[in-house]
Structure 1
Amino acid sequence: MKKILIPLLLLASVVSSYAQLEGIRINGYGAYVFDNSFDTYYTSNQYMRGKIKGGFQWGAGLEFLPSEDYGIELVYYRQDTEAPISYQFDTSGDRTVDLGVNYIMLGGLRYLNTGNEVLQPYGGLLLGLAIFDNKNPEPLEESSYVKFAWGARLGVNIWATERVALKLQAQLLSAVQGFGGGLYFGTGGSGAGVSTYSTLLQFGLGGGLSIKVGQ
């Protein structure tokens, strides 16, 4: 993960040093993300199905504002959860995978000027990486998987003071499993495995804080 974070931090440093910015914000996030099921069939009697359970997701972001109406944010999200799965392949069975779900995203934001200094609606898209940490891997099973990810979000900043705002936000994060290979879960003692190419969608509702820094 360090190999991924270092270039992103360097990018943030370059943007903050050279861009003519209207402002910089530090954002903190907390949300509940809902269950997401995946179901993959290879033949009528070969399949894998499961669910990534919902739960609390936290995050932090560094946002640069080239103008009052636009923002660029480097953001990290984290959820610790479980994924119960069942499979029928060379062998059949059930297991529960302990997962850490990480997103490292670069997003654009468009702010809507309503003429109200307190309420600041916004929306935007995100692109980046989803990193799945398998905390209890089977023998010969990898412990980390990196996938292409995208996202979208709608929300509003409610400015309590000139520098601090409460955030209310709905978001959708998607890990595209077919991008560069499937999310691999071993099938237990057989030493074989199956791959799912299902796209994972995680919908979340939550909020957070936004703090203006600098000027």
Structure 2
Amino acid sequence: MKKSIILIVFILVSGFGFAQGIRVNTYAGYVFPDSFDNYYSANSYVQGQIQDGFRWGVGLEYAVPGNRAIELQYKRQDTTAPTTYRDPNIGSGGLNTSNFEVGINWIMLNFTNYIPVNETVEPFVGGGLGMGIFDVRNPDTGNANNGTKFAWNIRGGSNLWVSENVALRIQASLFSAVQSVGGGLFFGTGGASAGVATYSTMFQFGFDGGLVFRLPGK
């Protein structure tokens, strides 16, 4: 996955490296917790919470006419998910608890509309489409699982330019992984080959801060 990200960034830099309007956006912020649950029956269900925590990221942005921009963005969060799940086929009495280790990766193509107020303040709104890649590990059994899902996001905030080519970026964003029309997150409770799995609606709301670097071009 990391090699694919590097390749995409390299292609974009090669294609736009000598053009005006290239920005590198950095992100660091806080993500709120989000609960999930899925009930198959009274004897087979999953419920838990993806914990809050730190999320970082980077984006490569290219300006297009009309105060708009296209950005290739990567974000990463490492967290845990305390989960209770019941399955008559596994565990003692079918009731199990575990604090899953979760790695959440977002690879998004964002579209942003800037609304410049003056040379310093540059508010924006936008959204994007892409994919969420989820790595889940059960520390009690050592089993691991992963899933890749279609994802979307919306965001709004402002750039505050402190110099010609450097700005402070503040924003709020909402990310969601979509399994179908209703949306969902793959969460394997028993590992790669055992236990129940759930498709549960997931929404991650967070606040980000970071720096924007405007690259000079011809």
Superposition TM-score, scaled by structure 1 size: 0.87
Q: Which residue of 1 aligns with 2:122?
A: 120
Please identify, of 130-139 and 52-61, the stretch whose mean Cα deviation from structure 2 is larger: 130-139
Q: Deviations over 1:21-45 (max 9, x none)?
A: 5410111101100000001111233
State the number of aligned residues: 210
The alpha-carbon deviation at position 113 of structure 1 amounts to: 3.0
Cα 1:71–1:35, aligned 2, differ >3 Å: closer, same or farther? same
The answer to whether the 8 A contact 2:184-2:201 is kept is no
Q: Which residue of 2 aligns with 1:103?
A: 106
Provide the identity percentage.
43
Distance, in Å, in 2 between the alignment partners of 1:65 and 1:86 is 46
Superposition TM-score, scaled by structure 2 size: 0.86
Q: Deviations over 1:96-120 (max 9, x none)?
A: 1111111111101000132x11100
List alignment gaps of at least 5 residues for structure 1: none
The answer to whether the 8 A contact 2:75-2:106 is kept is yes
Q: Which residue of 2 aligns with 1:78?
A: 76
Q: 1:67 aligns with which of 55, 65, 68?
A: 65
Cα 1:161–1:127, aligned 2, differ >3 Å: closer, same or farther? same
Distance, in Å, in 1 between the alignment partners of 2:136 and 2:167 is 36
Q: Which residue of 1 aligns with 2:186?
A: 183
List alignment gaps of at least 5 residues for structure 2: 89-93
CA RMSD of aligned residues (A): 2.5
The alpha-carbon deviation at position 142 of structure 1 amounts to: 4.2
Q: Pairwise mapping of residues 183-202 of structure 1 onto structure 2 (< 5 A)?
A: 183-187=186-190, 192-202=194-204
Paired residue secondary structure (2:116): coil
Q: Deviations over 1:146-175 (max 9, x none)?
A: 111110110100000111000110000111
Q: 1:129 aligns with which of 108, 131, 144?
A: 131
The answer to whether the 8 A contact 1:65-1:72 is kept is yes
Distance, in Å, in 1 between the alignment partners of 2:157 and 2:95 is 44
The answer to whether the 8 A contact 2:9-2:60 is kept is no
Cα 1:110–1:27, aligned 2, differ >3 Å: closer, same or farther? same
1:33 aligns with 2:31: yes
